[in-house]
Chain A
Amino acid sequence: MAFFRKAVEKLKKGLSKTRSLFVGSLRAVLPAGRKLDEQLLDDLEEQLIAADIGVRNVAKIIEDLKTAYREKRIATTDDVIEALKTEMKMYWPEADRSLRWAPSGPTVILVAGVNGVGKTTSVAKLTWWLTQQGKKVILGACDTFRAAAVEQLTIWSERTGVQIVKHQMGADPGAVAYDACEAAIARNADVLLIDTAGRIHTKENLMRELGKIRKVVANKLPGAPHEVLLVLDATTGQNAISQAKQFRDVAEVTGIVLAKLDGTAKGGIVVAIRNELDLPVKFVGLGEHPEDIEPFDPESFVDALFA
């Protein structure tokens, strides 16, 4: 259970930075017992916008609060926090958050995202996490574009003690994916984690390449990829919605990894993405070490935000 305790501490520590700012200001806005009025709702609106939840989603939340107030379900600020908590926790039901496993053979997880969001680091973290679960993991280094990306993943594979399938820089990522699938089958791996190159979601040819990688995997292993995880940078603003849309359309994204949640960014964009695209968050990244990862837990996420 030491691992579990450590994990909880980690999450708390990571979120505490987020929390201190968010709650610090929320507290200022919501002193206990304050009556709900227009001014308070305006303040609350700004706080939620500052969390990157998005102006339209915030408007909806505020509307809901107003309705609740009219219907006398809430009266003071204490009720507001409870109402927000209850509301937000419902966004992410548990069934959506767990990984989908292959019924037999290797489970393939494809990891994608725009440049610099933390894909390779997230792959390293997922490797660590899966290894902790007793899974045999193999890595596919399909970012053959960015200088030294293969080296970066190789270093992580050594540190986490797993095998890696790689080609030369500039090689066809589809070919790497194919070889990685073969290796995963031949070596009886439980999970194949595929790292891909960062691509801006508006670049059609790069997005097609991602679609192709997906297709190669699907042809090689029926039912694969079982998960397509989109890595989002928690500091990203409203553009994350556009990213999620494009990647979903091209690669059939199944979930989000919310990286870099250990900064001051509030990561509220996942609320917007949940509302607008119905994509669940599966993991959060909270630092630069392989163990800085946690399955997304809305309960503690929301609690930590509003505690």
Chain B
Amino acid sequence: MFEALQDKFSGVLRRLSGRGKISDANVAEAMAEVRTALLEADVNFQVVRRFCDQVMEKARGQEVIKSLHPGQLMIKIVHDQLVELMGPVDSKIHFVSPGPTVLMLAGLQGSGKTTTAAKLAVFCKKRGKRPALVAADLQRPAAIDQLQTLGDQIEAPVYRDDRTKNAVAVARDGVKFARDQGCDVVIVDTAGRLHVDAELMDEVGKIAAVVQPHQIYLVADAMTGQDAVNSAKAFNERLELDGVILTKFDSDARGGAALSVKAVTGKPIKFIGVGEKLEGLEEFHADRMAGRILGMGDVLTLVEKAQQELDAEKQAEMAEKLEKGRLTLDDFRDQLQQMRKMGPLKQMLSMIPGLGDQMKGLDIDDREMDQTEAIISSMTRQERERPEVIDGSRRRRIAAGSGTEPADVSQLLKGFEQMRRMTKMMAGQDMRGRMQMMQQMGKMDLLGAKMPKIKGGPKLGTSSAGKLSKKERRQHRKRRK
């Protein structure tokens, strides 16, 4: 998608490349592509219209920075504007003292309130709090049981009253119960309701009036379409929301609802819900969200991070080694450590355009990287420089030294050999080429991580099909310029 959008931009803007300025006509043409991309991501059409106007204003007459192409510059402007609109982000829960801090959740049916209530409780627990849950959803059959089961799982007390149909009373008594239990956070789960259901909207208003929550969050489904603005607006008018929690982010929805909801309520998106595990509540990052909406991964951040973190001198040295295929396991370990500075591997991989989707739902364990480092550290210097010398007996020693199995050592060596072959190919590529390589590396079983099989992807490291001759490489470079 990123490629597609960028290609379209480049096509539209190619004509002006000599002039170095973006003209009105070019911008308008490019904006048509942006509009389509945003609409396909489910951003509300009115929000899209306003957004496009703002971007046009910003882009008009901007000089094309030397390092960027006009297409890239347009993407940067669009991206920055998205980030600006979705920020500033405030992913803190402001706990009050003395407690308890009362948090209330509201939203449409099926948006994920009950699961989110449990996830919030886990989030609070990790911050040393004692949360209690209040089952004020008296509409859906077995909703109370669901919250109870979740509460038992995470060892948080649950207030329930099966005898009454009065949600306001349950909420009020629930807060008192939490206080008596010595809890410092109360999370009130309410029934899902349609924003056009006057009766139930009255009820949720009454609950808020009685328990006086310190924070009220709207729970909204990331897959919501154009209607997101209507429901968010209605809930905000009734409840004076403090923030929004977007759920089901483990889907492949582009999540344009995030922009819509922010635009109509003006309230920050606090968290995103990812997956069914109760730890799956993450802070919201406007920049990542912008990339997702545009379908382009978080490429800008990745480039910036790479530039900041990678020591230039080391890179030069490495480049020479790569070119000659003389990579050692020491270098490999260095690389791993460099990569770690940039953040967890999974997070980084997900930022690479095109790779992001495939990485969703993939558990790359940072512990596996620890293991890899441990194995390398258990080798002698000679072994690190010339892994060929490692035989069965050495393998067993290394495994024992690093607390792993000989098979793990073999797997690492195999992965390393693949990487060595690949790095030879990588040398002599520019940043973009390298990124493409990294995408393909993701497809290899480099760290023994459980990488997904990608259908139809080129097989690397098993044949020489992907390798380019010097001449071809030169031609490639020329074409890119």
Contact = CB atoms under 8 A, between A and B. Distances in A.
B325 interface: no
Contacts of B41: 238
Interface in A111-146: 114-118, 145-146
Contacts of A147: 145-147, 149-150, 153
B90 interface: no
Contact of B251 (A145, A202, A266): A202
Interface in A40-60: 46, 49-52, 54-56
B253 to A, nearest CB: 4
A260 B110 contact: yes
Given A55-B40, A235-B225, 13 more contacts: A17-B196, A49-B226, A50-B44, A52-B42, A115-B112, A116-B221, A203-B250, A237-B224, A239-B252, A260-B109, A263-B195, A263-B231, A266-B227
Interface string A91-119: 00000000000000000000000111110
A148 to B, nearest CB: 4
A32 B360 CA distance: 50
A204 to B, nearest CB: 7
Interface residues of A, number: 48
A168 interface: no
Interface of B: 36, 39-42, 44-45, 108-112, 139-143, 145-150, 153, 194-196, 221, 223-228, 230-231, 248, 250-254, 256-257, 276, 360-361, 452
Contacts of A169: 149
A163 interface: no
24 contacts: A21-B230, A46-B45, A50-B45, A55-B36, A55-B39, A114-B248, A115-B276, A116-B111, A147-B146, A147-B149, A148-B142, A148-B146, A152-B146, A155-B142, A202-B250, A202-B360, A204-B452, A235-B231, A237-B256, A238-B42, A239-B223, A243-B223, A264-B227, A265-B227
A229 interface: no
Shortest beta-carbon contacts, A-B, top 9: A237-B225, A116-B110, A237-B42, A147-B149, A148-B146, A148-B145, A152-B142, A155-B141, A151-B142
Contact of A203 (B143, B153, B361): B361
Given A235-B108, A237-B223, A239-B223, A148 B248 contact: no
Contacts of A164: none
Nearest to A152: B142
B233 to A, nearest CB: 10
A200 B251 contact: yes
Contact of B194 (A114, A118, A263): A263
A203 B111 CA distance: 18
A265 B225 CA distance: 8
Contacts of B141: 151-152, 155-156
A56 B40 CA distance: 9
B231 A264 contact: yes
A207 to B, nearest CB: 11
B251 A288 contact: no
Contacts of B194: 260, 262-263
Contacts of A51: 226
A201 B251 CA distance: 7
Contacts of B36: 55
A17 B41 CA distance: 25
Contacts of A146: 146
Interface string A239-277: 110110000000000000000101111100100000000
A52 B111 CA distance: 18
A236 interface: yes
B430 to A, nearest CB: 32
Main secondary structure of the interface of A (DSSP, over half): loop
Nearest to A21: B230
Given A115-B112, A152-B141, A263-B195, A242 B252 contact: yes
Nearest to A113: B110
A238 B40 contact: yes
A233 interface: yes
A295 B362 CA distance: 40
Contacts of A17: 196
Contacts of B111: 116
B225 A116 contact: no
A145 B115 CA distance: 13
A206 B224 CA distance: 22
A145 B153 CA distance: 13
| Most chain A beta carbons < 10 A, residue from B108, B142, B153, B196 | B142
B418 to A, nearest CB: 24
Given A51-B226, A52-B227, A147-B146, A288 B139 contact: yes
Contacts of B139: 288
Contacts of A263: 108, 194-196, 227, 231
A206 B244 CA distance: 28
A236 B108 contact: no
Contacts of B250: 200, 202-203
Contacts of A156: 141
Nearest to B250: A200
A202 B252 contact: yes
A204 B39 CA distance: 27
Contacts of B196: 17, 263-264
Contacts of B153: 147
Contacts of B143: 148, 152
Given A116-B248, A148-B145, A202 B361 contact: yes
A35 B371 CA distance: 72
Nearest to B38: A55
